[in-house]
Structure 1
């Protein structure tokens, strides 16, 4: 048995070298294991972000340790299934809902504040049990460039009870048939307290028999021919990059960067000054602040401004976040990410995912404004 984790320094997503920090593109960070590809050669998982506040799915080769980023859309992805022939990927994603765009819509921000903000960023995807997911189909290579796949249930008219009724949200987990011609997923209708009562959103009436609020959906890919089920070749029980499991062994340590002031240089231009503040006994990180100066990894977009995040945990699951952002991106993309003058203050429990904030955090991308959800919605 293996633990899909390696505490070697070379596996850390952020590498510290003196007073410099570097982003490690080869890091294996299995935060939440999501399953295997059809051939079983790769494990899929939610990993440490490649871009700030953008929660994605990755795949890691169980033999070589090679990592692929399967999704990159700014919206949140979690449930995933890969077809038996490894040619297709089905995901449940909030893309199209604009649920996460207020926080993740500005692309190409290095994942620095994410040292402490990832839990909050991932929790805002839900309103309690309402997930805002819809099913999407990607080819084997996943998101890239302007390709973000296709919504599987987009053909409806959006009316109450239709296959793309926005009040019916996808849940976990989609599954392909072995011959890849069908996909099954399930949906849940928004119900109180995510609507009705003190919530400003009214609750819809179910159009399903008996007023059911959950339903199973089967998508049939009619233009496809069934794919013969192939033979899965066995892999070694030893995963070279993983940690052998030993009964009673301690859980893996969380990502930790010592307190201090660091510099991150853009691959093409500019730099970012990073300040990390630990708590009084140096057991956790309280605050991460970043100041960008013409920072660019691609030479096409340039980032300037400041961002600072402070996180407190009154309980294990409760996050209290103080967020201050004044970022401006220019070049190929013109974007801003800004909080109100008094900052954005979020309280969210990962067990309930109820959005409760004071102040505002909003992102504008090429003239399109994305604002945060209202409290309780």
Structure 2
């Protein structure tokens, strides 16, 4: 399926959620895409395999595959991007080339030029003395360059080159320091500390956000301040480090849940509710936090933005396909999201619009998991203006016409002047293809048969812009919960079992029954009957749908769903969502995303039929 066409709408629309006047959607623009260079590939990781023949400059070799490969964002001059990779086959010391070994962070030139050593890349972390990198944390994902250009976030570490730009010749191994990030979570600061996940640096370079998993598999999100601690006296990490202090738990303790039972015993939807799920970063100015939030339509996972002070929430993606990694331009006017739109991967379960997210109480993890199939991700970079999806405007694919076997990964990034976007891709590999899988494995077109690559998109007609002024965020966010060390997790609202009525904003009702699992207490079955239900006056829903979730006692990441659906949509489109005889049974594991199903679940929209993927595909 191609991206839906641009909307022919009035010049100005009013967005009631944000209170902003929304301009006419932009027209598609010309974009050139090129691959950026990386160190040479060798086929063996044996000591010394990276010979002078393999790399005449003796500056390291890499392998065909590395699961933790990841590109990051630009340096302030726009001429370099950070890349996390693994050097292999280095000789032993005292050979000078011995420093090019293991997982390292490099800078790659984006302007076709080279560093003084003749390479288009420079290793930032190779050869840093052990005294300058004490207690280096092994988590080294999501690299991010600070606006100053002298520091970088590298997983759970901060790379610091003092007053020297990371890209400059003055930034040498001897004056580079790598400090771990430590999150004190006990009252006295003792112990191993908390375990942040997917950290993102705020544009002010002082604050950051992160997510973490709780013991029951849930996910919470936080915002805090980085404070340098040169001589820590508590905690398991006793080397110079950055502590996370003034921590906020990103939830509104006084606000409503997105779906709840009111005092009259009826269901209510609250699109204004703040429930920050998985953190995805910040707006270009840092005035908004970006995250995956509670679904607004059944099985439709979207990106939301919440203002750090006012708590105003806006939904910036709404296409039925799955949206996840996202980055804003520094001028705050655009964002690039990795999305499955165009692949039809989610349309069979989410393509019918206007269905409230009632069954999502049991389908949410499975719906999120089907975006991938093992190492095959269906993401491609989509360029959208700051106001997001609206009408029939769903942005522009940055790499239109590219090979779909090269899948987009996290995170994309804009150059500071807004004229370039960098993103990285991974090639589909087994078991997502080949063997018993009905899809053949493609041959890599990258140098040395690499199955990962970094891509640079040039927005040809754009004039350089200046970054927006960085928003002055408070240490403690007014709507969030202060979360000092020793804090307990707040109780979340849990929808109680029972039968309730949800009244459509415009018309009709949805009568929903929620049944809990007697062993776990979690919701087990959700059944809904729709009678002329409509929230927007454009999509009217009738029919019934029911889903039962069977937990796996040994694997909380496994979803097994028994699904029946017989829905009809009328209004601006004619749509149906129906299961076949015997219903539809889906089993999928959130960590591997291996799709296995029996029966059929089919969504038809104005005569276009969307069926669930084949098993293993």
TM-score computed with the length of structure 2 as normaliser: 0.58
More displaced 10-residue stretch of structure 1: 246-255 or 176-185? 246-255
CA deviations on 1:52-74 (whole Å, 9 max, x unpaired) are 11000000001000001010000
Aligned with residue 579 of structure 2, among 339, 345, 369: 339
| Residues in 1 aligned to 2:414 and 2:476: alpha-carbon distance in whole angstroms | 28
Equivalent in the alignment of 1:13: 258
Query: Closer, same or farther in 2 for the Cα pair 1:88/1:281, shift >3 Å?
Result: same
Query: Closer, same or farther in 2 for the Cα pair 1:253/1:375, shift >3 Å?
Result: farther
| Residues in 2 aligned to 1:331 and 1:42: alpha-carbon distance in whole angstroms | 35
Q: Check if 1:328 corresponds to 2:568.
A: yes
Query: Is contact 2:284–2:468 with CA below 8 Å preserved after alignment?
Result: no
| Residues in 2 aligned to 1:340 and 1:254: alpha-carbon distance in whole angstroms | 37
| Residues in 2 aligned to 1:32 and 1:230: alpha-carbon distance in whole angstroms | 25
Query: Is contact 2:507–2:532 with CA below 8 Å preserved after alignment?
Result: yes
Equivalent in the alignment of 2:457: 219
Query: Closer, same or farther in 2 for the Cα pair 1:28/1:368, shift >3 Å?
Result: same
Q: Check if 1:235 corresponds to 2:473.
A: yes
Secondary structure at 2:373 match in 1: coil
Query: Is contact 1:300–1:331 with CA below 8 Å preserved after alignment?
Result: yes
| Residues in 2 aligned to 1:178 and 1:63: alpha-carbon distance in whole angstroms | 25
Query: Is contact 2:284–2:467 with CA below 8 Å preserved after alignment?
Result: no
Equivalent runs, 1:156-235 vs 2, <5 Å = 156=401, 164-235=402-473
Gaps of 5+ in 2: 1-246
Query: Closer, same or farther in 2 for the Cα pair 1:117/1:248, shift >3 Å?
Result: farther
Equivalent in the alignment of 2:504: 266
Secondary structure at 1:103 match in 2: helix
Q: Which has the larger radius of gyration?
A: 2
Query: Closer, same or farther in 2 for the Cα pair 1:278/1:78, shift >3 Å?
Result: same
| Residues in 2 aligned to 1:168 and 1:48: alpha-carbon distance in whole angstroms | 29
CA deviations on 1:8-51 (whole Å, 9 max, x unpaired) are 3x330012113200111101121101011011100000000111
Secondary structure at 1:370 match in 2: strand
Equivalent in the alignment of 1:304: 542
| Residues in 2 aligned to 1:143 and 1:253: alpha-carbon distance in whole angstroms | 33
CA deviations on 1:123-175 (whole Å, 9 max, x unpaired) are 00100121111111000101000111101111x4xxxxxxx111111111101
Query: Closer, same or farther in 2 for the Cα pair 1:269/1:140, shift >3 Å?
Result: same
Query: Closer, same or farther in 2 for the Cα pair 1:223/1:116, shift >3 Å?
Result: same
Query: Is contact 1:92–1:135 with CA below 8 Å preserved after alignment?
Result: yes
RMSD of aligned Cα (Å):
1.3
Q: Check if 1:256 corresponds to 2:256.
A: no
Residue 248 of structure 1, CA deviation: 3.3
Residue 230 of structure 1, CA deviation: 4.2
Residue 282 of structure 1, CA deviation: 6.9
Equivalent in the alignment of 2:304: 58
Aligned with residue 136 of structure 1, among 369, 382, 394: 382
| Residues in 1 aligned to 2:463 and 2:539: alpha-carbon distance in whole angstroms | 43
Query: Is contact 1:195–1:203 with CA below 8 Å preserved after alignment?
Result: yes
More displaced 10-residue stretch of structure 1: 242-251 or 349-358? 242-251
Residue 311 of structure 1, CA deviation: 1.1
Residue 188 of structure 1, CA deviation: 0.8
Secondary structure at 1:119 match in 2: helix
| Residues in 1 aligned to 2:547 and 2:256: alpha-carbon distance in whole angstroms | 25
CA deviations on 1:202-224 (whole Å, 9 max, x unpaired) are 11111222111111000011211
Query: Is contact 1:189–1:206 with CA below 8 Å preserved after alignment?
Result: yes
Equivalent in the alignment of 1:26: 272
Work out which structure has the larger RCO, using CA pairs closer than 8 Å and 6 or more positions apart in sequence. Answer: 1
Equivalent in the alignment of 2:357: 111
